[in-house]
Structure 1
């Protein structure tokens, strides 16, 4: 074996070791954790749920306000453990409902299918909320919908692009005329 053949063999061995290690790491890695309860895949899914509830039109949608990350923080920091459990199980139930209705997971649905599914879940949560006992937790989709609305309309995007916003509103005017089509006030 001459020097050139030896260098080629060493290159193949080292290259195979590096590629093999990268491939092994890629196959065994889990989605990055966002916080103690949520990983990045779940936050992405929540962004898509939010975008289906509040889609982008002439104003930005819920995804532009990053409602998925907002929901992850709110559920971890503000929800009781039993409500956290309902919310996290709700993500699984959402995928199960999607699989049952369309034969694929929520993230693989097109916009029309997502709207159909979430409309059905919204009707389900309305019925549940009318019959639930006060001590029972809310329906998981109701939690998602409420957090989407809260996250969007309290975000910079929602307050400045979807609502009218004056950072320094000036004097108080209690009675301002409203013209049809005007945006609501954020402040």
Structure 2
């Protein structure tokens, strides 16, 4: 084989790889659009999720809260692109149930509650979710608040804000030290 034929074949192979990846990525995007049918995240919904996330992980003197990590946008992306349709439906219905629980307990929507009222409401809903999980069968769907809480923790601690300000962060780690001294109250290390 001469040099021209070799270069042409390598170009064909590399071109096929790039085209193949485009088809794969396009196929993935179409799948997520189909899965997201009926799931609409309005700016109000994202703001609602930011406030729920902030109630779960509030801002403290030591670290910013979930709202600063744009947790509502994170939830929108994961629910729209990764959740199956049945889980998307449970999640979206859960937003309505959370607001209804706020109306029932405090005669106000979640967004109109004080920080203490929001906290008290989420403690009650979290207890309900734990009771549901304890009695649930394997084929039963997850509780909506369990989804919200898991997404809040995942999104926050993998965000730049969470991993650099709430966790200890070392961008270029040193050697492994299995006996590193730990003092009670130290922050956990960020996984990079």
TM over 0.5: yes
2:150 to 142, 146, 167: 146
3-state SS of 2:40 partner = coil
* Equivalent position of 1:38 in the other structure: 41
Alignment root-mean-square deviation, CA: 1.2
Q: Quick check: 2:39–2:88 contact (8 Å CA) kept in 1?
A: no
Number of corresponding residues? 153
Alignment pair present for 1:133 and 2:133: no
3-state SS of 1:57 partner = coil
* TM-superposition CA deviations, 1:39-81 (whole Å, max 9, x none): 1100000000000000000210000111111001010111111
* TM-superposition CA deviations, 1:116-155 (whole Å, max 9, x none): 1000000000000011111111100010000000010000
3-state SS of 1:184 partner = coil
- Alpha-carbon distance in structure 2 between the residues aligned to 1:181 and 1:130: 31
- Alpha-carbon distance in structure 2 between the residues aligned to 1:106 and 1:183: 31
- Alpha-carbon distance in structure 1 between the residues aligned to 2:147 and 2:41: 16
3-state SS of 2:68 partner = coil
* Equivalent position of 1:31 in the other structure: none
1:65 to 69, 74, 80: 69
3-state SS of 1:63 partner = helix
* Equivalent position of 1:82 in the other structure: 86
User: Per-residue deviation at 1:36?
Assistant: 5.5
- Alpha-carbon distance in structure 2 between the residues aligned to 1:151 and 1:85: 20
* Equivalent position of 2:99 in the other structure: 95
2:52 to 49, 52, 62: 49
Alignment pair present for 1:180 and 2:180: no
**TM-score, structure 1 length as denominator?**
0.79
User: Per-residue deviation at 1:175?
Assistant: 2.4
User: Per-residue deviation at 1:104?
Assistant: 0.9
Moved over 3 A (4+): none
User: Per-residue deviation at 1:183?
Assistant: 0.7
**TM-score, structure 2 length as denominator?**
0.77
Structure label with greater radius of gyration: 1
